A and B are shown apart, each in its own frame.
Chain A
Amino acid sequence: GNSVTQMEGPVTLSEEAFLTINCTYTATGYPSLFWYVQYPGEGLQLLLKATKADDKGSNKGFEATYRKETTSFHLEKGSVQVSDSAVYFCALRYQAGTALIFGKGTTLSVSS
């Protein structure tokens, strides 16, 4: 079946450190891939997305590239800030309009 696996947290970094959160997926066909972010006490917000192989999604300094050959969509940021502390969810949608399938989430904590 379709599933998403992301690295377990928590991930603890100092400000300005490099961030990578790994995400791999299993899916039939050509899914769309997403990263959502959840700040404390809030709902999920779309961070970035990619809809086909080799697409790169980017937003707020975060990037992720859709790698079909490795079935991966790793999230990266070159220099994290304290304000990036949140839970990050990788997700896929295998068919237009269907519900998202989420990974379990990775908690990021950035200290100054």
Chain B
Amino acid sequence: NAGVTQTPKFRVLKTGQSMTLLCAQDMNHEYMYWYRQDPGMGLRLIHYSVGEGTTAKGEVPDGYNVSRLKKQNFLLGLESAAPSQTSVYFCASSSGQMGAYEQYFGPGTRLTVT
């Protein structure tokens, strides 16, 4: 199993450009999450999904959109990038079955917006 993978690993954007970050998991997990990590702020939830075709806002959703068309994929989009979106983005997934509900994290995408 590859677990949770993220593409790309690094990206530099100019203000106003758009891009999509892809998260994929091969563990058949129902739940998927997008976080951003900023120095001194820990991880903050952007959006999450409790199943295919469903999404919901997290703590810091402004400027981002998401889609979950397939159970294994969770896409994070930036329509018009801003310097404030410079961050490291982590995707995670977890099982919705009774049990540990451990969240498994991807390796992260480092995004710089100039």
Contact = CB atoms under 8 A, between A and B. Distances in A.
B35 to A, nearest CB: 8
Contacts, number: 48
A62 interface: no
B105 A99 contact: no
Contacts of A100: 43, 45, 92, 103
Q: Size band of the B side of the interface?
A: 20 to 34
B33 A43 contact: no
Interface stretch (A11-19, A44-52, A70-78): A44-52
A61 interface: no
Q: Size band of the A side of the interface?
A: 10 to 19
10 contacts: A32-B101, A42-B107, A43-B107, A43-B108, A44-B90, A46-B102, A97-B101, A102-B42, A103-B42, A104-B41
Interface of B: 4, 30-31, 33, 40-45, 48, 50, 58, 90, 92, 94, 96, 98, 100-108
